[in-house]
Structure 1
Amino acid sequence: MDDQAVAEFAAHRRQLVRAAYRVLGDNSRAEDVVQEAWLRWTRVDPGTVRNPRGFLYQTVTRLAIDELRKVAVRNEVAVASGELSTVDPIEGVELAESVEGALRLVMQSLSPVERAAFLLHEVFGFSNAEIASITGRTDHAARQLVYRARRKVRAGRPRYEPTRQQEAAILQRFQEVATSGGDFLTLAAACSS
């Protein structure tokens, strides 16, 4: 790793932590995600990366979303296996708060159809074709929808002010889908309203 690559990462580190925090809502987890991004950055030939800033932000965002998924899966496994007593209640509260914070950012940054596309693609791994089917758009339009939504979430600029009822409905549907394999179409409908 050359000095230029180290300096490039250092120049963006603070903003990367903020980006991870916006997704996770937890500073120590955000720091861990940025550390993992650093490890990945050290394994990449900087000469092959056209846009280092974009690469770093994309890596951090994906790692942060993966972290949310991992925590949700750990809790889901504990609930499914009846090991509720082994789940740290504080960790459960922290997870709920970080998920709520991430969803609030999504609701404030994205239009209703962008919310649905973003959550289905980035959190639940739906393909663009599946999103197209759900949203009534073409595959290309769905891909563009997810791309634009991802950019807007990264920017973190509030554009919408959802009501408490909208926030509660989306959070409830999201929790149902994440914890019990609930109906994705209901989640998409809640996001789109």
Structure 2
Amino acid sequence: MSDILSDPTFTEIRPRLVRLAYRMLGSVADAEDVVQDAYLRWLVTDRDAVRQPAALLRTIVTRLCLNELKSARRRRETYIGPWLPEPIVEADEMESIDDMTLPLMMVLERLSPLERAAFLLHDVFGIGFDDIADALNRDTAACRKLASRARDHIQSARPRFPVTKEHGLEIAAAFFMASRNGDLDSLRSLLRADVMACTDGGGKVPASLHPLIGIAQVMARHAALARAFIESPSSLVRYVVIDGLPGFVSIEGGGIVQTTALQIEEEKIVGIFITRNPDKLRHIGSV
């Protein structure tokens, strides 16, 4: 890593490359590995002959990500329980400056790798289609179609009535207090009827193996958790923004660290995304 710090060109571009790789792969560790691999390739490039270093490095990272997605998707076929992207909290290195939220990243998982790349490069990172065509080794018209198809899939996942950061964190605080104190009436008042809760434990820690759909299932689960919290209390670490959504980091029974992100529409919680898999929380840092 010291070599990277000695190359000012790569140092300047690196955060954007890591964000691109993370948006492509949904994994911080894999994103870091891809960018490190891109740097090694950059080292053996005739850099004096490169007129647009950022474009070349984007191309390298994009192609490495496309290769990585093939094996990543095979791994996810055998993943235990729901899979969620690794949570990025606002204070982390990859603090988001785009409008990609966790639900949008989950929709990206259903796109083809090329659709995903074309959409991210154009709609999120503002790259022109001629440059995208070079990166994907496709013609410009084909890249436009890839991005258009992706946009059609993603449109329904964009928040129609986004809340402000401050108000979102207020709702997150109310959710934490009601769910941990067993105030089920207050908790129910925060949830929309079609709320969905998804927990990623990866088979490493206790977690629901299937998403909970609807307020009845979600409330039944929290009623059971309320009883468990009496014996093993949950403690709040901090309220944060997680992949564009308000939420919090907490320590649960057995010392399990978890992140909870809340999708909110029209003042109600419509999505609860909980990550408990310890392999996905290493980058969160000391709690």
TM bin, normalised by shorter chain, reads 0.3 to 0.5
Structure number with higher relative contact order (C-alpha < 8 Å, ≥ 6 residues apart): 1
TM-score by length of 1: 0.45
TM-score by length of 2: 0.32
Between Structure 1 and Structure 2, whose CA radius of gyration is higher? Answer: 2
Whose strand fraction is larger, Structure 1's or Structure 2's? Answer: 2
